Amino acid sequence: MPLSTSPSVSSAPELSPVRLIPKDEGFFELFDGLAVLMTRSATLLNQLFTDPGQLDRYVVQIKEIEHQADDITHEIMNRIDRSFVTPLDREDIHLLATRLDNVVDLMDGTARRAKMFHITDRKEPAKELTRVLVAATEQIALAVTSLKDARQVQVIGREMKRLEEEADAIYSAAVGALFEGTPDALDVIKWKELYDNIEHAIDEAEDVLNVLESVSLKNS
């Protein structure tokens, strides 16, 4: 009697490995938005020290930008929390957003101090320092849009270094000029603090560029 054979069992289809592809989730657009706001704030700060007669108006406008930057930063943090996969390391996204927002906060603080000190006269060094600050923020905006091109971001980094050195020279000369002759003590105190704040904002802008260079190299 012939032996019965069991029906053949077809093997299960081989499953392809799941590949997680990083999603943008709008992070780059949000970074662009922060960079644009930073440049606008720097431009308004430069206008404030160019035309202090309109100080109150500029202070209000800079504060509005600071609120907008905070909103974008909060949205970035929320998207980090709800995104399963991100286009950049979560730590890098958090660091970059925080550093960008810090520069806007510093400019807002400088504008508020100018109002608190009742600045009415125009000093050329403040105008020149904020001119450099505008240029620095423009370089950041360019680097943000070039984030996937590490070579271009490095070129921008060299220009940022040049701007930072220019700002240092302006700052040193400006502070030295405050102490020439027999200056008014209150005048020295308020302008020294304003120069310090602008210089700090430029230094922070350079730090943002350093972060951008690191991120672009890591993801190139």
- pLDDT, one tens digit per residue, over 161-215 is 999 999 999 999 999 999 998 889 999 999 999 999 999 999 999 999 999 999 9
Is residue 1's pLDDT more than 50?
no
Residue 166: how many other CB atoms lie within 10 Å: 17
Assign 105 a pLDDT band (cuts: 50, 70, 90): very high
Query: Is residue 13 domain-resident?
Result: no
- Cβ proximity of 54 and 47 under 8 Å: yes
Dihedral angle computed from the Cα positions of residues 110, 64, 104 and 168, in that order, rounded to the nearest 10 degrees: -40
Per residue in 138-155, pLDDT (tens digit) is 999 999 999 989 999 999
Query: Is residue 9 domain-resident?
Result: no
Please give the residue range of the domain that contains residue 77.
27-218
Residue 129: which CATH number? 1.20.58.220
Residue 25: per-residue pLDDT: 59
- Cβ proximity of 52 and 121 under 8 Å: yes
Query: Is residue 207 domain-resident?
Result: yes
Query: Is residue 12 domain-resident?
Result: no
Overall domain count for the chain:
1
DSSP secondary structure letter of residue 22: P
Assign 19 a pLDDT band (cuts: 50, 70, 90): very low
